[in-house]
Chain A
Amino acid sequence: MKIRLLFTSLCMSLASFLHANAQIDSSLLKNGTKDTAKNALTMDAIYSRPFLKTGKFPVSIGGYIESNWQYTGTSGISVGNQFQFRRFSLFVASSITSKIKFLSEIEYENDPTGDPADAKSGGRFEIEYAALDIELHPLLNIRGGMIVNPIGAFNQNHDGPKWEFTDRPIAMTQMLPDTWSNTGFGIYGKEYTGKWMFGYEFYLTGGLNDSIIDNAAGKTFLPAANANPSRFTSSASGAPMYTGKLSLRNTKVGELGLSFMSDIYNTWAVEGAPVDDKRVAQVYDIDFNTTLPWLRTNIITECAWVYVQMPPNYTQQYANKQFGGFIDIVQPVFRGRVFGWDHATINLAVRGEYVDWNVGNFAATGAKMYNDLWSIMPAISFRPTPQTVVRFNYRRQMQRDITGNTIGAALGLTEGYSLGISTYF
């Protein structure tokens, strides 16, 4: 409720601010347009967004929306036409001095975690990011507040208008907890030398909790921790979560990112008295993106491994190891003037995805545990400007339960169509 009030008052104050300025001179609002397809490093994505500025006023604002129509069916069962307002995000950035910056992002999101229990509570408002950056040296910046943990590239660079697909990658949002942000502090830095760019990030933040192995999704599910209402004020284990990332980019080859996250996730002590062993969840992630120079083909891929220490005598339904990833291939097929837009683009794209929610074998039989899915999603998108996308996707997905069964709710073959819009504003 507090967040809703905060969000409402922020929207109202911004609206009145814009209105007041527009009445004086609408040209005061300058669109700080950025081609969001061209990022220096993925870690810059949080600032690499279009903002509206007013003259020398040190505050700039921006945001994006995502909305789509979807029609999917699984093994002959469909819920019909679904009109979904996925997200509304509002950014406010401020340069306090040339070396001190603040940026915040407040987001309304429907079914952010994919957790059946969480979905019933409907959409929610959340402060996704609100952090202060203090630059001491290009290689040493301090960041503190509500930060987005740099686990994988997608978690850092997930704004809807940047992608040709209405759905986010399943492995990155349902195996990894994208968007995963937390209260904490850390350091980051970058170095540029000719064709090479190097960046690093390291943060200590609040972390996960027991829900990652005790949730209505019935599987090891890091996003379940997103539903913990006290995660911004208290840590379940009392220990910090460590998140780090190294990025290396060659302007001709592409960008490679290696990241990790480690956390003692369980409440192992109650009022100081140990009640359980400490158990660790770790994530390792590798991401890569490049653009092939001749065809301008954009390739983005990421895969991750999740390792979770399990309590003794717990059900194998909850995995101690998961693996998943995706690859996007985006091919511009037309660039030019369309319907009066001078720099419109039409892209063909395809996404391949795979997630194994439970890597390993049954203790009872030695046979392989399944609980996996794979998906392929061709797409066509139209970008009248780099900040706005209209996209049409078709998904074909196969999912099995832990025993390999493909008959049942959400199991078996899923196919569907979606048409969506997303734009920065």
Chain B
Amino acid sequence: MRKKSAFVTAAIVIAVATLTNCSKMLPKMIDPNYGVCGPVSLSSAQSVLFAQGNDQFFAIRTASTGLGPYFVSTGCGECHSSDNRGHPFTMLTRFGQTDSTGNTFLAKGGPQLQNACLPGFTSQQIPDGASSSKFIAPITAGVGFLELIPDSAILAMAAANVNNPDGVRGHPNYSSIPPYVTPFANAIPRADGKYICRFGRKAATYDLLQQVATAYNHDMGITSTFMPFNPYNYLDQTAPSSPSIPDVDNTTLNSVVFYVRCLQTPNQRNANDPTVMNGNQVFVNLGCETCHKQTLTTGYSPIDGLSYQTISPFTDLLVHDMGQGLDDGYTEGNAKTSEWRTAPLWGLGLAAGVQGGSYYLLHDGRAHSIEQAIQMHGGEAAESVTRFNSLSPGDRNALLTFLKSL
């Protein structure tokens, strides 16, 4: 009897101990330095909205929830895995524009090729005579901070390029903005009514609302009040004659905008490591920092965590001539076909982790290592690449270690 009582007591004690302490025995949170998920500091109400946006960002769209019939991907999270860079399997293709006069293939499905379609529909094709370029999804984390960089700061960075001895001549991409977009309070438009745009590989998108509404429409074939027409395939002759009932409501779409706006910036790792610090100096010495600006400061935001913050995105939000090697013959806004927005480098060291262990860098993932990406730079970056190629093994290693720490 005593044995049985002892057994029962021990079993109860073990059960209670397990039930009350099981949270301590579960996997720990990932070190935020090694992931790019998570919001900036938010109020309770903002956290609720962020969580709603998070759900919608990673929700999979189906035919019954508006997907297609022509699309590239089935959800935001499919391209922006863990809010980081995309993978070539969700790469998209844009076509039909070669200069600042605009896209001449809008009637044939431009500017974006929806390379996937629902069963029964015909795959879209790039029309004869249209030049094109493939784009891999850029990093999402930190875009809310980039949205808050004042136009004046962008113009100042452009002005500083005027006498650059390496021939760096970055400039803002001025473009028309759609009617549903409200210009920033501190916007500095050009005399022709065009605004400084900053998002996308060609910096042709004005703000995150435009980015999200366009992604829903062009990437998933989902209509909204902002973009009420489905993408269509001119080969199928199924062009809609009037706006459809929105597939996604404004509440949902705005929650996604809020979600991406509030994403935290990627953190640098091992910033105080001597090799990393040396690599940072090499980065500056090579002239990389002329375009990949280490430090920018945001303007005002009603979200405290975004307001007047100093960030390290390693971009100047300007477009630069990258030479013939990266000239695909396609462009957006007033950028030339060889001009690309300086890609933010934050989160670069984490990219391989979300790209299947390999790097797919530059606008179409053609570079499979950081070294390869550097060496594929041309045009305004040619001088820096020449210096990179002359680096001692130690300095080269330090530079790469630094870049992988971002």
Chain A: residues with CB nearer than 8 A to chain B? 69, 71-78, 80, 116-117, 210-211, 214-218, 266, 275-276, 279, 311-317, 362-365, 367-370, 401-409, 412-417, 419
Residue of A nearest to B87 (CB): A403
- Stretch from B150-158, B329-337, B351-359 at the A interface: B351-359
Q: How far is the CA of A71 from the CA of B20 in the complex (A)?
A: 10
* Closest chain B CB from A82 CB (angstroms): 12
B6 in the interface (beta carbon within 8 A)? no
Residues of A within 8 A of B287 (CB): none
Residues of B within 8 A of A315 (CB): 71, 73-74, 78, 90, 116
A405 x B353 contact (CB < 8 A) = yes
Q: How far is the CA of A313 from the CA of B89 in the complex (A)?
A: 12
B81 x A401 contact (CB < 8 A) = yes
B123 x A313 contact (CB < 8 A) = yes
* Closest chain B CB from A83 CB (angstroms): 12
* Highest count of chain A CB atoms <10 Å: which of B15, B29, B30, B360: B30
* Highest count of chain B CB atoms <10 Å: which of A313, A402, A417: A313
Residue of A nearest to B64 (CB): A214
Residue of A nearest to B368 (CB): A365
B89 x A316 contact (CB < 8 A) = yes
B18 in the interface (beta carbon within 8 A)? yes
B26 x A72 contact (CB < 8 A) = yes
B123 x A403 contact (CB < 8 A) = no
Known: A217-B60, A313-B116, A313-B117. A73 touches B27 (CB 8 A): yes
4 A-B pairs closest in CB distance: A76-B29, A73-B26, A218-B60, A313-B123
Q: List 23 A-B contacts (CB under 8 A).
A: A69-B19, A71-B26, A75-B30, A117-B62, A210-B63, A210-B119, A214-B63, A214-B67, A218-B78, A276-B119, A279-B119, A311-B118, A313-B116, A365-B88, A368-B356, A406-B353, A407-B354, A408-B58, A412-B30, A414-B27, A415-B26, A416-B26, A417-B22
A402 x B26 contact (CB < 8 A) = no
A215 x B62 contact (CB < 8 A) = yes
B23 in the interface (beta carbon within 8 A)? yes
Residues of A within 8 A of B299 (CB): none
- Other-chain residue from A214, A217, A407 in contact with B37 (beta carbon distance below 8 A): A407
Residues of A within 8 A of B45 (CB): none
B185 in the interface (beta carbon within 8 A)? no
B73 x A415 contact (CB < 8 A) = no
Sample of 11 more A-B contacts, CB < 8 Å, known A317-B78, A364-B91, A369-B89 = A71-B19, A76-B30, A210-B63, A214-B62, A218-B78, A313-B115, A364-B88, A365-B87, A407-B30, A408-B81, A417-B22
Residues of B within 8 A of A402 (CB): 87, 89
Residues of A within 8 A of B27 (CB): 73-76, 412-415
A370 x B356 contact (CB < 8 A) = yes
* Closest chain B CB from A69 CB (angstroms): 8
B63 x A362 contact (CB < 8 A) = no
B354 x A403 contact (CB < 8 A) = yes
Chain B, residues 92-119, CB within 8 Å of chain A (1/0): the string is 0000000000000000000000011111
- Other-chain residue from A78, A210, A401, A404 in contact with B26 (beta carbon distance below 8 A): A78
B23 x A78 contact (CB < 8 A) = yes
Main secondary structure of the interface of A (DSSP, over half): loop
Q: How far is the CA of A316 from the CA of B90 in the complex (A)?
A: 9
Residue of B nearest to A414 (CB): B27
Residues of B within 8 A of A363 (CB): 89
Residue of A nearest to B18 (CB): A417
B82 x A408 contact (CB < 8 A) = yes
Q: How far is the CA of A76 from the CA of B18 in the complex (A)?
A: 18
Residues of B within 8 A of A414 (CB): 27
Known: A364-B88, A413-B27. A311 touches B119 (CB 8 A): yes
B1 in the interface (beta carbon within 8 A)? no
Chain B: residues with CB nearer than 8 A to chain A? 15, 18-19, 22-23, 25-30, 34-35, 37, 54, 58-60, 62-65, 67, 71, 73-75, 77-78, 81-82, 87-91, 115-120, 123, 353-358, 360
Residues of A within 8 A of B357 (CB): 404
A216 x B59 contact (CB < 8 A) = yes
* Closest chain A CB from B125 CB (angstroms): 10
A407 x B23 contact (CB < 8 A) = no
A403 x B26 contact (CB < 8 A) = no
Residues of B within 8 A of A416 (CB): 26
Known: A74-B27, A75-B30, A214-B62. A405 touches B82 (CB 8 A): yes
Residues of A within 8 A of B59 (CB): 116, 216
- Other-chain residue from B29, B62, B123, B356 in contact with A77 (beta carbon distance below 8 A): B29
Residues of A within 8 A of B82 (CB): 405, 407-408
- Other-chain residue from A75, A216, A369 in contact with B29 (beta carbon distance below 8 A): A75
- Other-chain residue from B19, B81, B360 in contact with A405 (beta carbon distance below 8 A): B81
Q: How far is the CA of A260 from the CA of B118 in the complex (A)?
A: 28
Residues of B within 8 A of A314 (CB): 116-117, 119
A215 x B60 contact (CB < 8 A) = yes
Residues of B within 8 A of A78 (CB): 23, 26
Q: How far is the CA of A36 from the CA of B376 in the complex (A)?
A: 67
Known: A76-B29, A313-B123. A405 touches B354 (CB 8 A): yes
Residues of B within 8 A of A116 (CB): 59-60
B60 x A312 contact (CB < 8 A) = no
Residues of B within 8 A of A364 (CB): 87-89, 91
Residues of B within 8 A of A412 (CB): 27, 30
Q: How far is the CA of A41 from the CA of B371 in the complex (A)?
A: 62
B360 x A365 contact (CB < 8 A) = yes
* Closest chain B CB from A364 CB (angstroms): 4
* Closest chain A CB from B256 CB (angstroms): 15
